[in-house]
Amino acid sequence: MSGRTIKVYRDLMGANEEWAAKTRLLLEGAAVRMVNLIGSPGSGKTTLLEGMAGRLRGRLRFAVLEGDVETTRDAERLDALGVPVSQLLTGGACHLEAKLVHAALCDLPLDALDVVIVENVGNLVCPAEFDIGEQAKVAVLSVTEGEDKPLKYPLLFREAQAVVLTKTDLLPHLRVDVARCRRHIEQVHAGVPVFEVSAYSGQGFEAWLEWLCAAGARTQS
């Protein structure tokens, strides 16, 4: 023992975990749940949220935190539908980190909400590695992306508590076998619920909303 003081530099990931833990306490105190939507660019996350705006009215009080590298386009789309929304800009980073999410949460009227939905930066890899204090990650995969993505990007599908397959209205025009895609999901995460939805036709939407409302209700008991 030299008696000297040793400086400790905490790594970024450690700091992220601390902010995530603070967020969990904040959400628990307010009885609000947070869902972290993760999917590729163009997988239909914002359109899914647009489809939820009208259908959830009177059933679930939710706000959205929109994560993007640049632009406020997605927040503007939801704001136009009357959804309470804030835009989180990463300034180049490929994922959201817990500190930024925490700051945005503190500005939300949590008492008036059941669920906060975070739309992460469009990316199937990095966002799955960062805990932002959410109660559930949800993987969003467009059927146009092909059947093999759960095998090629397994971390997200392993971490997700639900998978939403979007743009199913396009299936008649694609060379994609949804049953095979479901088998791939099952292979990396047995038992995870999978919802096939089309935000345009509304098909399959109800089962996904029921899952989300059940997730929201779990905080109110």
Q: Give the chain's length.
A: 221
Under the binding rule (CB under 8 A), the answer on residue 31 touching a second copy is no
Q: Given candidates 21, 81, 94, 178, which one binds a second copy under the rule CB under 8 A?
A: 94
Q: Binding of a second copy at residue 145 (CB under 8 A)?
A: yes
Nearest CA to 43 out of 220, 167, 160 is that of 167
CA distances from 159 to 125, 144, 162, 179 (A): 12, 22, 9, 21
State the Cα–Cα distance between residues 164 and 109, nearest whole angstrom: 28
Least distance CB 152 / a second copy (angstroms): 5
The SS3 assignment for 154 reads helix
- Examine residue 68 and tell whether it contacts a second copy (CB under 8 A): yes
User: Hey, what's the torsion of the CAs at 106, 32, 42, 199, to 10 degrees?
Assistant: -140
Q: What is the DSSP letter of 49?
A: H
Cβ nearer to a second copy, comparing 21 with 126 = 126
Query: Token pair for residue 218?
Result: 């779990």
Q: Which of 62, 130, 153, 157 binds a second copy (CB under 8 A)?
A: 153
State the Cα–Cα distance between residues 195 and 121, nearest whole angstrom.
21
Task: Confirm or reject binding of residue 71 to a second copy (CB under 8 A).
Answer: yes
> Toward a second copy, which CB reaches closer, 39 or 133?
39
Choose which of 78, 121, 139, 197 interacts with a second copy (CB under 8 A): 121
- Total binding residues for a second copy by CB under 8 A? 35
Does 218 help bind a second copy (rule: CB under 8 A)?
Answer: no
Among positions 11, 58, 91, 173, the unique one binding a second copy when judged by CB under 8 A = 173
How far is it, in rounded angstroms, from Cα 115 to Cα 175?
36
Between residues 129 and 206, which has the closer beta carbon with respect to a second copy?
129
Question: What is the residue whose two structure tokens read 């975990």?
Answer: 17
42 binds a second copy (CB under 8 A): yes
Binding site for a second copy (CB under 8 A): 40-42, 68-71, 73-74, 92-94, 121-126, 142, 144-146, 148-149, 151-155, 167, 170, 173-175, 200
